[in-house]
């Protein structure tokens, strides 16, 4: 069944139930205050239905919930493996650098050792002649000064040579200790990766078994959910890469200076909050189709596009991402078809209209899905909003 059609059916059913209840109440003398409260309850119920991303809450069967759980496990294992492999690459690079440095230190030590050996041979060949003997055998003041200077230079050279050898030996030992530790970490990381890969394979096999039991209607919804999840991962990768230049910039929500993306709406008007259900990475505002959407802060349009498959809107539908160039980025999704008013790489000012509220993609009714990303990671938008 079409998601939007099913959403309308759910909405109508809820309205009928609520109106049936309220009609009974009116028969016994309902006040204006009661009617207003009942109307608010109806509006709230409609908003809850309209703001269900992917329209799944009311249609999730036991099998689909199980698949969602397995999707979470699969995603976590994939992220863990990716992090471990990244760490593996870093350690391997460090090992290569340390081995090169170790070879250089070893060569330096060998050269120092040769100089020391040559110095010892020279001292041996000169017998028991001491620095004092050299001074006493000087012919005149000029020769004495010359010998003194030469002795001081030799003494300084001997001291520096010996000190250099000790430092080089210590450096060589430190490099060897690090290499031993790093190679142990690599072995442990490789073992951990193998364990995660086994768990990942098990979760994928379990998911495959559950998928084989889905009904046709469940399969249709599952396909849409898979597209939605993969699209979110794709956006996450893109935003993370774009945010690398802002890595480490401290971001304080109260100092971000955002306005509301919808005129007259505040955080108190959020109908479905961040993390309200699995995979909900933003905040929803239910409102009429065609309502103007505004940039919450000045910035540069990073993405302005539509996600479609086989000529049909999927996932976020028509959406825009703005890079505010302060470590934060914002995403506006499910816009009205053809309403996007800005293009990629375009500079926008705070309060500039960028589109209109719609219901494109995985959505059951008109609403704005709004996300905030800080240094490449999505976060709760509420603290950033007035």
What pLDDT, in 10s, does the model give residues 234-260? 888 888 888 888 777 778 787 789 999
Note the residue count of the chain.
386
Per-residue pLDDT tens for 149-206? 555 665 566 667 667 767 777 778 888 888 888 888 888 888 998 998 999 899 989 9
**CATH 2.70.70.10 is held by the domain 248-384:** yes
pLDDT attached to residue 159: 65
Per-domain residue ranges of the chain: 3-50, 85-199, 248-384
Indicate the SS3 state at residue 164.
helix
pLDDT attached to residue 351: 97
pLDDT attached to residue 385: 95
DSSP state of 326: S
- Please state, in angstroms and as integers, the Cα–Cα distance from residue 136 to each residue in 27, 68, 123, 153, following that order: 129, 93, 18, 18
CA atoms of 88 and 90, how far apart (whole Å)? 5
- Please state, in angstroms and as integers, the Cα–Cα distance from residue 311 to each residue in 11, 161, 341, following that order: 26, 77, 21
DSSP H or E stretch at residue 246:
none
CA atoms of 295 and 299, how far apart (whole Å)? 8
Structure tokens at 93: 């690079």
DSSP characters over 88-142: HHHHHHHHHHHHHHHHHHHHHHHHHHHHHHHHHHHHHHTTT--HHHHHHT--HHH
Per-residue pLDDT tens for 246-303? 777 778 787 789 999 999 999 999 999 998 877 789 999 999 999 999 999 999 999 9
pLDDT higher than threshold 90 for residue 100: no
What are the backbone dihedrals phi and psi of residue 316, each rounded to the nearest 5 degrees, phi first?
-80, -5
92 HSE (CA, 13 A, CB side): 9
- Is the distance from CB of 264 to CB of 360 less than 8 angstroms? no
Among 262, 248, 275, 287, which residue's Cα sits nearest to residue 385? 262
CA atoms of 239 and 24, how far apart (whole Å)? 53
pLDDT attached to residue 147: 53
pLDDT higher than threshold 70 for residue 74: yes
pLDDT attached to residue 303: 97
């Amino acid at each position: 069944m079409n998601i939007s059609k099913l959403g309308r059916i759910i909405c109508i059913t809820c309205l009928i139930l609520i109106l049936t209840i309220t009609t009974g109440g009116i028969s016994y003398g309902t006040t204006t205050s009661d009617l207003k409260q009942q109307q608010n309850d109806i509006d709230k119920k409609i908003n809850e239905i309209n703001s269900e991303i992917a329209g799944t809450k009311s249609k999730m069967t036991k099998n689909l919930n199980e698949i969602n759980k397995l999707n979470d496990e699969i995603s976590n294992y994939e992220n863990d493996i990716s992090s471990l492999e990244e760490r593996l690459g870093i350690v391997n690079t460090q090992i290569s650098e340390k081995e090169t440095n170790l070879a250089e230190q070893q060569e330096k030590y060998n050269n120092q050792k040769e100089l020391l050996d040559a110095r010892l041979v020279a001292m041996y060949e000169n017998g028991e002649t001491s620095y004092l003997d050299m001074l006493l055998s000087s012919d005149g003041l000029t020769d004495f000064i010359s010998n003194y200077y030469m002795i001081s230079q030799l003494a300084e050279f001997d001291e520096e040579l010996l000190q250099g050898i000790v430092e080089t030996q210590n450096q060589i030992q430190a490099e060897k200790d690090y290499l031993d530790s790093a190679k142990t970490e690599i072995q442990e990381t490789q073992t951990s990766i193998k364990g995660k890969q086994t768990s990942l394979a098990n979760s994928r096999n379990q998911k495959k078994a559950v998928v084989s039991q889905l009904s046709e209607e469940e399969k249709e919804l599952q396909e849409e959910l898979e597209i939605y999840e993969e699209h979110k991962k794709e956006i996450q990768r893109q935003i993370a890469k774009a945010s690398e230049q802002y890595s480490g910039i401290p971001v304080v929500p109260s100092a971000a200076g955002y306005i509301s993306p919808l005129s007259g709406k505040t955080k108190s008007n959020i109908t479905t909050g961040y993390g309200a259900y699995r995979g909900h990475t933003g905040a929803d505002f239910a409102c009429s189709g065609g309502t103007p959407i505004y940039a919450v802060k000045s910035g540069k349009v990073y993405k302005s596009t539509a996600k479609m498959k086989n000529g049909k809107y999927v996932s976020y539908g028509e959406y825009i991402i703005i890079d505010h160039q302060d470590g934060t980025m914002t995403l506006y999704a499910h816009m009205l078809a053809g309403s996007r008013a800005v293009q990629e790489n375009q500079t926008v000012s705070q309060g500039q209209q960028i589109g209109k509220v719609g219901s494109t993609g995985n959505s059951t009714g008109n609403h704005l899905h709004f996300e905030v990303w800080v240094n490449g990671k999505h976060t709760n938008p509420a603290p950033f909003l007035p």
